[in-house]
């Protein structure tokens, strides 16, 4: 029998607040979180893994609307695997571009820092 978690535990593990976890469930990012007899949520290991993946999508700037699309495909079962892969590959490209752009911007920032250093030297 696999471990179960309360909303607070999931909150601590993932860093999302309980509010955000309920919100994600409400908008359909988390499907079918189980409940105990009194209606309290009990998260399974699989929920945790899914939430962790959602966090990665969010950190790579996937909009919630797209995360929702992806979640919807997921809950439709294995018939949608190809479609999910396509969606992820499109996102992969965007992330790759983000990294390239950040690197370019980082260079410019570093140049500016170097420029400031030079100006500081002059004034000694």
Residues making contact with DNA (CB under 7 A) = 6-8, 17-20, 22-23, 26, 36-41, 58, 63-65
State which of residues 15, 59, 77, 124 lies at the interface with its own copies (CB under 8 A).
59
- Greatest C-alpha distance within the chain: 73
> How far, in Å, CA of 16 to CA of 74, rounded?
22
Tokens matching residue 111 = 């140049």
Asked if residue 92 binds its own copies (CB under 8 A), the reply is: yes
Asked if residue 19 binds its own copies (CB under 8 A), the reply is: no
Contact, 39 vs 78, CB < 8 A?
no
DSSP string over 53-83 = HHHHHHHTT--HHHHHHHHHHHHT-GGGHHH
Nearest distance in Å: CB 48, its own copies: 14
If the CB atoms of residues 28 and 117 are measured against DNA, the closer one turns out to be: 28
Report how far Cα 10 is from the mean position of its chain's Cα atoms.
15
Positions in the binding site for its own copies (CB under 8 A): 53, 56-57, 59-60, 78, 81-82, 84-85, 88-89, 91-92, 95-96, 98-99, 101-103, 105-106, 108-110, 112-113, 116-117, 119-120, 123
């Amino acid at each position: 029998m696999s471990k179960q978690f309360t909303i607070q535990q999931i909150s601590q593990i993932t860093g999302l607040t309980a509010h955000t976890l309920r919100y994600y469930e409400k908008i359909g990012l988390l499907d079918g979180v189980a409940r105990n007899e009194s209606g309290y949520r009990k998260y399974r290991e699989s929920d945790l893994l899914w939430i962790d993946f959602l966090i990665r999508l969010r950190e790579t700037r996937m909009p919630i609307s797209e995360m929702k699309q992806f979640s919807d495909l997921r809950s439709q079962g294995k018939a949608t695997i190809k479609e999910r892969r396509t969606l992820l590959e499109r996102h992969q490209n965007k992330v790759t571009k983000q990294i390239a752009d950040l690197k370019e911007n980082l260079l410019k920032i570093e140049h500016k820092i170097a420029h400031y250093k030079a100006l500081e030297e002059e004034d000694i």
